[in-house]
Amino acid sequence: MAHPPSSDRVLNEASGLTRDDVTRDTVKPMTPIRPGALSSNRRPPGSLWLRWVLVFVDTEAVFLAWAVALVFYQRIPIAGRSSTSSVMITVVITATGLLIMATQDLYLTRVSNIRAVEMTRIFRTSVITAAGAGFGAEIVDLEIAAAEAIIGGTLMMTFLVIGRSTFRTWLNARREQGEYRRPVLLLGANAEARGLYDLLNTHTEIGLTVAAVYGDSRQAEANGLDQLWAGTADQIIEWIRKEQVTGVLVATSALATPELNRIVRELLSAGVHVQLTSGLRGIASRRLRAQPLAHEPMIYLEQLNLARWQLMLKRMLDIVLATLGLILTAPLIMMFALVVKLTDRGPMFFRQERVGRDGELFKMVKIRTMVVDAEERLAEVRSAQNERSGPLFKADRDPRFTRIGRMLDITSINELPQLWNVLKGDMSLVGPRPALPSEVAEFDPELHARSQVRPGITGLWQVEARDNPDFSAYKRLDLHYVENWSVTFDFIIVLQTAESILARVVRGITRRAASQEPGVVHDNETEQENAVSRRVAAQSDHEAIAAVGLGRSVERGTQGSVDDGEKPFTDDEAVAHRSAELG
């Protein structure tokens, strides 16, 4: 009696593998993709709410743009069109614009999360809407002037960018607090999987958090993923069928090819979103092209060949925009510089030696935000409050900041004098952060590649990971910019800079509001307490703590800890406490 071919045989014939090539796990047959699986009802918590919020923001932006163009902008009266008709036309154009945005997939996360793609499609939508308004008016015999269509399209693009930037700033702030982050599973437990895990922790704005790791238990333990390890690769399907999971990230290097193909098909059949790593690092997605060979998926990597005109255009934009910026912001710079001078009678500006293009040194200028002896106190603060890894230094509550200086740093107003460095050619508007010579001395050979371009007032690391303490994020983002920069990329970073500053201002206001709540030391009280700390810093350690009046013991040996409901140390108390501990 003839028996049907076994699943082992079918798999081997389909893949061209011998029995020795097939592991025990890959003998299992591939699961066919279930029809309609990708339209599953699985939806992350809050995603529908966020989508409706974004639709509301876009509706407001489009309606306002065309209301300005058709209702309020009427220098030349248009015969036969009343204000009521203008409002009705605005409503129709708004609905049409939103429909076009939906056809451009601007409400899909995988599109709107990539800023360059989102900007391109917003521009395309605005142009199509403006052209449609003009030609549509001719068809239905409505009077819409060419100037109105141009103004409407331009304002539509502008307001959409502003509206979506505000929405993104709000959403990123909420995601930093752990909200609106959807759980995903991580398939694989090797070094590549660990890199994915670290990436999601570094970039909370992505909105993903690893709920569990599936793969080899020994690899999970070796790569610090043992606390999240939940089972082997085959067990991931069982978990998905029981839990409300929305996606899986696959570290492809952690699985054998037959096993990878089988599990990916099972995941798709289960109706979840699947993302696979490419094995490439630091390559911009715009340089990747899908180019299959004999129907097998392959990726073609474009060479990075910047035309000479891009280099010339970047420098020309630097000169023009820096000149305009200096002219427009000169009163603001001088006003705050004068405030700094009157605050403590110290110098208005701070000049510091930094490393520029090709390793050349230059003097970078800022509005001074710290006390006059900040450089002398750096070693003291670094040993007590450094929140960075590697050669960088950052203290979120650096006690060397003056009161006005902290506000200038949050809003980045102190960086405006660097427009003069841009005009001189020492810096660019966009580029890697200008590093200190002492920092560069600790860079590895790979990171020295960042000196191939001019440092910038803003850059990719500044807008995406400025508050991240991990030095690897600094290195990865700087090298990514050096290898993939373009004028368009610079424009996206400038736009992200505005979002980043807005987010920091909001966080600063939130923190200040929280500090004014009952039970929290107010600013004037903090200043008085800090003054007491400074006066008693020279006393013995127990006397100093007692004089501050907070009843803390030096033997606790923890700066800024919050135990048993006690208030945390202020910045100056921490320094005084540290000095007391050192005797």
Residue 355, strand partner residues: 361, 435
Which of 68-77, 228-237, 253-262, 291-300 has the weakest average pLDDT? 68-77
Quick one: pLDDT at residue 224? 92
Quick one: pLDDT at residue 529? 38
Q: What is the mean predicted confidence (pLDDT) over 502-513?
A: 68
Q: Is residue 539's pLDDT more than 50?
A: no
Q: How many other C-beta atoms can be found within 10 angstroms of the C-beta atom of residue 472?
A: 15
Q: Which of 31-35, 101-105, 475-479, 528-532 has the highest mean pLDDT?
A: 101-105
**pLDDT band at residue 432 using 50, 70 and 90 as cut-offs:** very high
**pLDDT band at residue 78 using 50, 70 and 90 as cut-offs:** low
Residues in the chain: 583
Domains, the chain, in order of start with CATH, read 47-176 (no CATH), 180-279 (3.40.50.720), 308-503 (no CATH), 523-581 (no CATH)
Which of 318-327, 347-356, 479-488 has the weakest average pLDDT? 479-488
And the tokens for 578? Answer: 């540290």
Q: What is the pLDDT of residues 446-471, one digit of tens each?
A: 888 888 899 999 998 888 777 666 78
Q: Where are the beta strands (DSSP E) in 172-221?
A: 182-187, 208-214
Mean pLDDT of the chain: 77
Q: Which of 92-101, 244-253, 278-287, 300-309 has the highest mean pLDDT?
A: 92-101
The residue that leads in pLDDT, 98 or 386, is: 98
Q: How many other C-beta atoms can be found within 10 angstroms of the C-beta atom of residue 403?
A: 10
Q: What is the pLDDT of residues 301-333, one digit of tens each?
A: 887 777 788 889 999 999 999 999 999 999 999
The residue that leads in pLDDT, 378 or 342, is: 342
Residue 221 has phi, psi (to 5 degrees) of -65, -40
**Burial class of residue 355, CB neighbours in 10 A (0-12, 13-18, 19+):** buried
pLDDT exceeding 90 applies to what percent of the chain? 32
What helix, strand, coil percent values describe the chain, rounded to 5?
Answer: 60, 10, 35
pLDDT exceeding 70 applies to what percent of the chain? 74
The residue that leads in pLDDT, 555 or 381, is: 381
Predicted structure pTM score: 0.65
User: Strands across the sheet with 229-231, in order?
Assistant: 229-231, 208-214, 182-187, 247-250, 273-276
Please, are residues 394 and 446 in contact by the beta-carbon 8 Å criterion?
Answer: no
Which of 183-197, 212-226, 392-406, 509-523 has the weakest average pLDDT? 509-523
Q: What is the mean predicted confidence (pLDDT) over 404-429?
A: 91
**pLDDT band at residue 386 using 50, 70 and 90 as cut-offs:** low
Q: Which of 54-63, 73-82, 400-409, 445-454 has the highest mean pLDDT?
A: 54-63
Which of 28-37, 92-101, 279-288 has the weakest average pLDDT? 28-37
Dmax over CA atoms of the chain, in Å, equals 101
Quick one: pLDDT at residue 566? 34
And the tokens for 26? Answer: 């890959």
Quick one: pLDDT at residue 242? 79
Coil, helix or strand at residue 305: coil
Quick one: pLDDT at residue 564? 32
Quick one: pLDDT at residue 44? 55
The residue that leads in pLDDT, 163 or 16, is: 163
Q: What is the pLDDT of residues 235-278, one digit of tens each?
A: 998 888 877 787 999 999 999 999 999 999 999 988 889 999 98
Quick one: pLDDT at residue 228? 93
Q: How far apart are CA 295 and CA 341, in angstroms?
A: 69
Q: How far apart are CA 113 and CA 138, in angstroms?
A: 37
Residue 178 has phi, psi (to 5 degrees) of 90, 5
Quick one: pLDDT at residue 355? 93
Please, are residues 343 and 353 in contact by the beta-carbon 8 Å criterion?
Answer: no
Q: Is residue 31's pLDDT more than 80?
A: no
Q: How far apart are CA 528 and CA 530, in angstroms?
A: 5
Q: Which helix (H) or strand (E) holds 129?
A: helix 115-139
And the tokens for 195? Answer: 């890199």
- Residue found under tokens 């010339």: 312
Q: How far apart are CA 180 and CA 176, in angstroms?
A: 9
Tell how strand 456-458 and strand 428-430 pair up: parallel
Quick one: pLDDT at residue 449? 87
Question: What is the DSSP-derived secondary structure letter of residue 70?
Answer: I
Q: What is the mean predicted confidence (pLDDT) over 560-575?
A: 36
Q: What is the mean predicted confidence (pLDDT) over 526-536?
A: 38
Q: Is residue 72's pLDDT more than 60?
A: yes
